[in-house]
Structure 1
Amino acid sequence: MSPLSKAALISLLASTALPTAAMAQDAPAADELPSDIIVTGTRVTGMRAADSAAPVQVVGTQAMQAVGQQDLTQVLAQSLPSLNFQAFGGDTANLTLTAALRGLSPNDTLVLVNGKRRHFTANLAVLGGSPYSGAATTDLSFIPTNAIGRIEILQDGAAAQYGSDAIAGVVNIILKDQSSGGLFTVTGGQYYEGDGETASTALNMGFKLGDRGFVNVTGEYKFHNYTQRGGCDRRYLTLDCKTRTDINPIDAAGVEANPFYPRVNTINGDAKYSLYNFVFNAGYDFSDAVSGYAFGSYGKRKAYAYENYRRATRVSGTTSDGEKVYPLTAGFNPQEHLDEEDFSLTTGLKGAVSGWNWDLSLTYGRDAVALYTIDSANPTLYAQEQSQNADPIGLQRDFYDGTLVNSEWAVEAGVTKDFEVGMAKPLTLALGGQWRKDTYAIQSGEFASYFGGGAQSYPGFAPTDAGSYNRKAWGAYIDVAMDPVEGLHVDLAGRYEHYSDFGKVWNGKATARYDFSPAFGIRGTVSNGFRAPTLAESYYSSVNVGPGSTFGQLPPNSAAAKLLGFSPLKPEKATSFSAGFVAHPLPNLQITLDAYQIKLKKRIVPSAAIFGSLGSSTVSQAVIDALIARGVSLADATSYAGINIFTNGADTRTRGVEATIDYTSDFGGDAKANWTLGFNYNQTKLEKIYPLPAAVVNTAFSQTTLLDPNSIDGLTTATPRVKVIANALFTFGDFSVNLRETLYGVTHQRTSFSGSGYGSPGDGSGYTVLRIGTSVITDLNIGYKITPKIRFDIGANNLLNKKAPTVPLVAHPSGGVRPANGSNVYNPPITFTPWGINGGYYYARATFNF
């Protein structure tokens, strides 16, 4: 092994890193070695992860390279026991998947790039009953793994240090900064089922910028194809996929003529997407005292996700001569299509003067999501147009639904200085401030997309949905780090922020660590924090039209919400405690353990379904009036109509324990083994549920609480309480084998016929528990260096093809059986399965260093 490779391995072992997917590579340049010197969670220069008073894990480039699906969300989920990823999303949430730390909302994790706040996606996840509902955080897919030098994950509340969102922790992505050489990778793979074909290629290169600077650039292209899971559509086919004899003959003929027959309903599966990314990182030393830096990214994504199949008779018209016309004789499979553009740029200056280190930066980020409903139809519009013509006419199939835009400006300034005050080490003082402007806009779609009931599956944004909203915030912080005596480190931080839409917030944090010896130290933190509601949560408005249902997402900061008794969103308030130890009982062994508690007051949660009508019965006239006031047509609401809303609806308490063990074995020569074990346990309990406003309460229909069992479980039990990652990396000569076992604890969620998150008032069916038992997933990567510069890898994620459990079939009050969650597809996968719904995935990768 080369000296540089040995240095990289020693550096990883000395940190609290969890390199759960490490693989041997060619030795990188010295300036891109995975380092145990961290910049996250502390403002002390030269702090090692192993010496941190707060738990920090480091994921290096080797760990990233051994994950089959080269998406940053997948990389983190397969490396960190405390992080879980969203395997499947409904509607447009399937187009932008996300991840969460410590069982909390994805919005409670702050994402930084090179220490600077990264902007949010504009595509809000609206998923009743999902633990990921309301997610409008950073889209990690726009940061290619080839551009990353390392990732530092602070698993501790840090709002006093970084501001809003840092309740569960902080993910700081450090971009590569080498000034020469490069890396080119080509990867291909697919699921064992023969679908979900994936291809990606990425090029990273470093260049000198004159004699005193560098620029590092990365380009990436990725493609992923559809997957389909589950059986046949229960509405038109039997359990064994035979066309039902009791349905309309026109619909029966349409089902059999559909190109996907017999599995005509393709809603359960991955979206198809193509993604282009470009990232750069640059720096230049103007003098020995002043440096400039800049980094940024541009990404372009097109994605497509199928919705429920629509029968042939769903769209019909009558000519002016009275002839009945069905223009879509095979029925149709509508899709939601996203055309997204993501941009970010940070520029800054930093330097030193009179012992003060200073940093001044400007950041702008923007995410624009144009939405379309394609291969669909607007039944109301078509019927009107056909009635004015004697001959059958064509109909519009593709609709522009509107555009969501999120943009953020941030100006940051900070200074730090070390003072000799007679302590064991110099005292570090940091001062700084930040000014931000956030903007969120909804641009309405074309008239045909929202007229009447709108385009089937996803009506466009009507003018009543449209609007542009912004807020300004400024804050100031102070941070003092000191070592009063040898072995004791104390860090005190305080922060004040003022938001134009809800006022001021004060936060503080105290962190301490004491090392009894080089082999053992204890650490702990206490802090309070906050999360400002995203503008998307506050103002997003949309309508979802299903077969027989109409549900509107009501903006909590709207006049209609106020009439129903809901208040504008306020910030979440958090109080956090943690305590743990770091031990080095043997030269090559490190153990960390940290216990934590996070209490959230006024947590922003999605409500359960709040019904306006069920069939011909009125549940809440106020809800019906609110929908009509928003310009929503109820023509399709033959089964039910209602609203969902985000609100400060609950107080929660999350308790957990995180632990890591890292050990290396040297067998002599080039034979080594690196053993790592990561463990996370957390449990979230609801301490308070805020009341449902009186205007929408109806005891006769059991509409009495803000959260139903499904949404309660989405917050508390739909993600695993236990996650364990055991990893073994073996290297011998030019070969490496990486074996990873991930154990997921039990997850469960109650559901009802009316659909996940829609509750079941008045139907008497109760709830069925969807349960996923303890499961172990095996990942394997085998690598071989063909030459010193060329490496080939093959591997599999979920090697043993562990399938997602399916939703059970239960008797329905109206007769027959159907999936317990109301799905239109027999045997659909349980979508909150923590390792995903698609089964085993195999891949091959070629890596070229130069």
Structure 2
Amino acid sequence: MIKHNNYNPVARSVKFALAASLCISAGVAVAQEQPASTTAKEKAVEKIAVVGTRSAPRSIGDSPVPIDIISGEELNKNGNSDMLNLISTTVPSLNVHTQPISDTGSLIRPINLRGLSSDSTLVLLNGKRRHRASVISFLGGGINDGAQGPDLSVIPGIAMKQVEVLRDGAAAQYGSDAIAGVINFVLKDSADGGSIEVKQGEYFAGDGASTELSANIGMPLTKDGFVNASMQYKNVDATSRSVQRSDAQELIDNGNTSVAPLAQVWGSPEIKDDISIFVNAGLDLGNGGEAYMFGNYSERDVRGGFYYRNPHNRASVFSNDDGETLQVVDTSGAGGCANVPISGLNHQQITAQVNALPDNCFTFFSMFPGGFTPNLGGNITDTSLAIGTKGEFKNSFLNGILYDFTGVVGRSESTFQLFNSVNASLGPNTPTDFETGKYIQLEKTFTADFVKYLPVGLYEDLTIAFGTQWTEESFEIVAGEQASWEVGPYIDQGLSNGSNGFPGFQPQNAGVSTRRNYAAYIDVEANVTENLLTALALRFEDYDSFGTTTNYKLSGQYRINEDWSLRASNSTGFRAPTVGQANVSNVRTEASQGKLFDVGVLPPTNPVAILKGATELKPEESTSYAMGVVYTGNDFFITADYYLIDVDGRISQSDAFEVTAAEIAALKAAGVQGIDSLTSITYLTNDFDTRTQGIDLVANYSMDLFEGRSSFALAYNWNDTEVTRFTDITGEFRVSRLEDDLPKHRATFTWSQSWDNWSLFVRSNYYGTYQGVAADDDTRTTDASAKVTFDAEVSYYINDNFAITAGAQNLFNTEPEKLSDAWSKELGAKYYETSPMGINGGYWYLKGTYKF
């Protein structure tokens, strides 16, 4: 019978079942509730991280490198059920931004561990590599520009047994992406019981209402296995932290009654029919063998706002001379239509001139007299399936070797839609809603992992782990409908082609790009003495795109006495450019100096990008150093760790470069299509190096208090990033964003109190100073002040099965840094978008839970 919840030290096959595919060492940081009779040191021993070693999983006090363990119960002590928010409120070195008006970044938000990009953190599910999302962040707040990380929001908290956040470089064990660390999501594996949760919440501002239904059930799979299934379904309304734009208000004051009361909505997007199903299963095959399978199906519809298009001056739609005249085209092709002068005229006068135009003369002002605001929508579908078997060879020369064979397939599909927009080059025949195409990310990974324990006269058997991995990654661009990219008949009369705000993907850019790589590794771990643990890992990888790389990791822990120990690590790492980063193309809209500009994002191998200095992408390379101390005496658990991470050739988005009419003509003559409306471009590049250093401090303490049991947890992170090399391709503004957008200091202090029928949870969150940035504009920045917010939750247990909970995040509705009145009205937004505490303010929630 498989042991579902406890580690069995006798059975090597079960021990390997927990650890065989993992090869980093682990420690722990976050307190969990325990029975009142359990001491702090005993609780520490019970916190076991399956991520971290190919030997037996280690307790938190015996780890050479730090990891935060967040229990499933603690994840549920949050009003917001988005996994990104759940883990960011618990791990101070992990940051997540709200993404208002940021193109595809609104659909899948990126994370930042230790100040590095989202794709510098490797994500595992049950210890197996998780596939990336199909969305690439083009407005990623500087740090995530061009990043392509996994979509964590599909993972429901109710499915989690625990989450392990390794805060140390691990590319030598896992391969690409583990420069900043590793997050391992461990699914529940109980064969019985379950729970149902119903949650309702809303922001204090009266918007963003969310309704959620979650369920988990464990079932036996014959008498020797289990199936554990989880489901989450939710709907979340959009939020608005908007003000009326000054240009829209000026139009209203000038008599224009067609302008909406809020010309644009600046806030979190609407999420509809968000469903996520995760299943975890295992079956004891006898003779030390086990089969396992886990996977998910997730889907949601997301819709968010774009910038307002002013009916007087939006370039290449309404006007081409900044509002002096309205652009008028001749639908007959005779070319006899003159532009309409509008400077200094009121709305009625402008309307009268437009109404007096001949039938063959058309201006978009007649279709949208109040302007228009596009909405970007997307359907995000995420699926994965892992199947494997593990156990111990029992005979021949393989006797005593533990094995784990796994195949994993993951797929992410993002279908994009644009509403309330135009393809101006089609003139009056343009549709206003568009299917703009798809991105599809598909990954297949097959691994063979082996572990052998050898008695060599040390304190414990020497652990030798070795294995191979084969991966195929593909990125597909599916063309949008013809109207979304078509170059219409009015392109030569000054109107832009493609759906305005998010042009559809063109057929010549559509297709599938594929890359394969294989890896081999060896990982040796030894308790040399009772007090000294050492580990060495070596990994070789061969990519068919850029060649080979070899990396190492050396780590160790020395126990000074029963209470104190020292730990340290040194490693090299790499992050391979994704197939999507090497081949993606897109157009984004930026606001600068009160105007909107379309910026093309091109592959670095595109002739237009090469013209501006682009070269083929190469892997990032890193070197990491870390050292720390652990104390486990007197009912305390305290860790302090210093880290230093050098990354060379970081991949990010270049600055924007103007494309002249002469360059466009020359490129068109060379056969490059679909660039008629292009004014500036960016591309992904390896243009800068960084040095990131910081300190993580964690302290846990438990005691009897107020006739109940109290647990206290303090977590603090200081993180500083310096760009040590860059050129004009990156530019000084992006450097400032990399160095200053995230707060250098973050901390949380948590108090959990439990009685027989009640429990209380209070957390304070400190966010240090940071650079406030609005609309990715280097003229709209500020030194934003530090903020403190409070979260609170109280639960009443009606009986052993039923509980009701009430809580609030940002209890005192602390506001993020506000824009100046002038900038706020110009952009239609209240706050700086880089606020680390989010932009939406306080949030209350009620939850009912039934456990069985």
TM-score bracket, normalised by the shorter chain, equals 0.7 to 0.9
Amino acid at match of 1:243: I
CA shift, 1:451, in A, is 2.0
After TM superposition, the score normalised by the length of structure 1 is: 0.86
Amino acid across the alignment from 1:631: Q
Residue of structure 2 equivalent to 1:631:
673
Matches of residues 466-615 of structure 1 in structure 2 within 5 Å?
A: 466-545=510-589, 548-586=596-634, 588-612=635-659
Question: Could you tell me how far apart the structure 1 residues matched to 2:59 and 2:626 are?
Answer: 20
Mark the CA change 1:264 to 1:416 in structure 2 (over 3 Å): closer, same or farther.
same
Counterpart amino acid of residue 470 in structure 1? T
The change in CA–CA distance for 1:273 and 1:644 in structure 2 (over 3 A counts) is farther
Q: Does 1:47 align with 2:91?
A: no
Q: In the alignment, what sits opposite 2:460?
A: 425
CA–CA distance in 1 between the matches of 2:668 and 2:567?
Answer: 53
Flag structure 2 segments of 5+ consecutive residues without an equivalent: 8-25, 39-43, 319-327, 333-358, 394-398, 488-496
Partner of 1:804 in structure 2?
816
1:818–1:171: structure 2 CA closer, same or farther, 3 Å change rule?
closer
Deviation at residue 791 of structure 1 after TM alignment: 0.8
Distance across 1 between alignment mates of 2:771 and 2:656: 20
- From 219, 243, 265, the equivalent of 2:252 is 243
Task: Note the C-alpha offset of 1:418.
Answer: 1.1
Structure 2 distance, partners of 1:796, 1:199, is 15
Conservation of the 8 A alpha-carbon contact between 1:777 and 1:798:
yes
Letter in 1 for 2:163: I
Distance 1:283 1:481 in 2: 28
Query: Is 2:684 the counterpart of 1:646?
Result: yes
The corresponding residue for 2:694 is 656
Within 5 Å, give how 1:25-424 maps onto structure 2: 36-89=47-100, 90-127=102-139, 129-237=141-249, 243-245=252-254, 252-255=256-259, 258=260, 261=261, 263-311=262-310, 321-322=359-360, 324=362, 326-353=366-393, 354-383=399-428, 385=429, 396-424=431-459
Q: 1:585: how far off? A: 2.8
Aligned match of 2:776: 756
What SS class does the counterpart of residue 483 from structure 2 fall into? helix
Structure 2 vs 1, CA of residues 54 and 279 (structure 1 numbering), >3 Å: closer, same or farther?
same
The amino acid of 1:370's aligned partner reads T
Counterparts of 1:548 and 1:114, CA distance in 2: 45
Preserved CA contact (<8 Å) 1:81 1:679? yes
1:707-726 to 2 correspondences below 5 Å: 707-726=730-749
For 1:192 and 1:318, locate their aligned partners in 2 and report how far apart those are by CA, in whole Å: 52
Q: Deviations over 1:541-569 (max 9, x none)?
A: 01235665221001113343334331111
Q: Structure 2 CA distance, aligned partners of 1:24 and 1:563?
A: 66
Give, in angstroms, the shift of residue 55 of structure 1: 0.7
Label 1:623 to 1:598 Cα distance change in 2 as closer, same or farther (>3 A). farther
Which of 729, 734, 752 is equivalent to 2:752?
729
C-alpha distance after superposition, 1:757-803 (max 9, x if no partner): 5x6xxxxxxx4532221111110111110111111111111111111
Distance change >3 Å, CA 208–CA 381, structure 1 → 2 = same
Q: Which amino acid aligns with 2:643?
A: Y
Output the CA distance in 2 between the equivalents of 1:201 and 1:88. 25
Q: Residue deviations 1:644-697, cap 9 Å, x none?
A: 11100101000000010000011386x0110000010010001100x3xxxxxx
Structure 2 contact 772–833 (Cα < 8 Å) conserved: no
Q: Any conservation in 1 of the 2:169–2:571 contact (CA below 8 Å)?
A: yes
Q: How many angstroms apart in 2 are the aligned matches of 1:805 and 1:557?
A: 40
Structure-1 separation of matches of 2:735 and 2:418: 31
1:19-39 CA-to-partner distances (Å, cap 9, x unmatched) read 4686999x9xxxxx9952222
Q: Please say which of residues 60-69 and 453-462 is displaced more in the overlay.
A: 453-462
- Note the alpha carbon deviations across 1:148-168, whole angstroms, 9 max, x for none: 101111110001111110010
Q: How many Å apart are 1:99 and its aligned residue?
A: 1.2
Partner Cα distance (2:805, 2:114) in 1: 32
Q: Which amino acid aligns with 2:277?
A: F
Contact 1:655 1:684 in 2 (8 A): yes
2-side partners of 1:176 and 1:280: how far apart?
9
1:488–1:276: structure 2 CA closer, same or farther, 3 Å change rule? same
Q: Which amino acid aligns with 2:258?
A: G
State the one-letter code of the partner of 1:38.
A
What's 1:447 paired with?
482
Match in the other structure for 1:694: none
SS in 1 for 2:257: helix
CA contact (8 A) 2:47 2:60 kept: yes
Other structure's SS at 2:798 match: strand
| Residue of structure 1 equivalent to 2:322 | none
Q: Residues 17 and 59 of structure 1 are in contact (CA less than 8 Å); yes or no, is this contact kept in structure 2?
A: no
Superposition deviation, residue 622 in structure 1: 4.4
Aligned-CA RMSD value: 2.6
Deviation at 1:333, TM superposition (A): 2.8
Q: Report SS of the residue matched to 1:193.
A: coil
Are the aligned partners of 1:21 and 1:738 in contact in 2 as well (CA < 8 Å)?
no
Q: Describe the superposition over 1:143-198 as per-residue Cα deviations: whole angstroms up to 9, x where unpaired.
A: 11111101111110001111110010000111000001111111110111101111
> Equivalents in 2 of 1:419, 1:660: separation in Å?
35
Query: In the TM superposition, what whole-angstrom CA distance separates every residue of 1:256-275 from its partner, at most 9, and x where no partner exists?
Result: xx3xx1x2211444343431
Using a 3 Å threshold, how does the CA distance of structure 1 residues 837 and 53 change in structure 2: closer, same or farther? same
Q: How many residues align?
A: 764
Give, in whole Å, the separation in 1 of the partners of 2:665 and 2:520: 45
SS of the counterpart of 1:648?
A: strand
The CA distance in 2 between the partners of 1:787 and 1:837, in whole Å, is 38
Distance in 1 (CA, whole Å) between partners of 2:815 and 2:276 is 32
CA distance change for structure 1 residues 647 and 324 in 2, over 3 Å: closer, same or farther? closer
Question: Is the CA contact 1:41–1:158 (under 8 Å) kept in the aligned structure 2?
Answer: no
> Structure 2 vs 1, CA of residues 601 and 836 (structure 1 numbering), >3 Å: closer, same or farther?
same
Q: Distance in 2 between matches of 1:604 and 1:178?
A: 42
Question: Residue in 2 aligned with 1:702?
Answer: none
- The 1:132–1:830 alpha-carbon spacing in structure 2 relative to 1, beyond 3 Å, is same
- The TM-score normalised by the length of structure 2 is 0.86
Distance 1:403 1:771, change over 3 A: same
**Aligned position for 1:685:** 722
2:848 corresponds to which residue?
846
- Contact 1:371–1:402 at 8 Å: present in 2 too? yes
**C-alpha distance in 2 between matches for 1:193 and 1:411:** 49
Which one-letter code corresponds to 2:673 in the other structure?
G
The residue identity in structure 2 corresponding to 1:502 is F
Q: Structure 1 stretches of 5 or more lacking a match?
A: 8-14, 28-32, 386-394, 692-704, 760-766, 810-816
Aligned match of 2:494: none
Residues 35, 456 of structure 1: alpha-carbon distance in 2 compared, 3 angstrom cutoff: farther
Q: 2: distance between equivalents of 1:826 and 1:38?
A: 46
1:835 maps to amino acid: M
